[in-house]
């Protein structure tokens, strides 16, 4: 009897589709609340507004391997890796606040067809704004 699994198929016969892992990630995720900060100019004054977004996700420190590829001057900054459900829509350079700490979005991994997004966030100078 031969056990057949994915390694038994030649690469030319692989479907190439990854499973949607969104439901598996939900067991790992927790409720999170971000404030997405935007700055506009009204009547010659800066006006900062905060949009509160509630979503499911998990945040953890950036791995040593990911941190090594950052520019050397930025490695000592506080970096976080955020996995979120697809209800959180952020773009590179967005400024967010989480648990009283302001972060800037540096990268976005769009894995929406697999059920999640991945963001690299770096602690931002408070008051620097978007």
- For domain 19-123, the CATH architecture is Beta Barrel (2.40)
For residues 10-24, give the mean pLDDT.
61
Q: Cα–Cα distance between 16 and 117 in angstroms, integer?
A: 20
pTM recorded for the entire structure: 0.74
Q: Which two tokens stand for residue 34?
A: 């971000």
Taking the alpha carbons at both ends of the chain, their separation in whole angstroms is: 62
Indicate the pLDDT class of residue 66, thresholds 50, 70 and 90: confident
- Domains of the chain, residue spans: 19-123
Q: What residues form DSSP beta bridges with 105?
A: 121
- Percentage with pLDDT > 90 across the chain: 40
């Amino acid at each position: 009897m031969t056990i057949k699994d994915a390694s038994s198929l030649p690469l030319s016969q692989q479907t190439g589709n990854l499973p949607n892992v969104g439901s598996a990630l939900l067991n790992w995720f927790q409720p999170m609340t971000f404030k997405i900060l935007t700055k506009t100019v009204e009547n010659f004054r800066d006006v900062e507004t905060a949009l509160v977004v509630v979503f499911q996700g998990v945040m953890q420190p950036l791995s040593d391997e990911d941190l090594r590829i950052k520019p050397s001057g930025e490695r000592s900054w506080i970096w976080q890796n955020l996995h979120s459900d697809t209800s959180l829509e952020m773009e590179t350079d967005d400024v967010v606040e989480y648990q009283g700490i302001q972060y800037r979005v540096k990268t976005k991994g769009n894995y929406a067809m697999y059920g999640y997004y991945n963001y690299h966030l770096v602690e931002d100078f408070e008051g620097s704004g978007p």
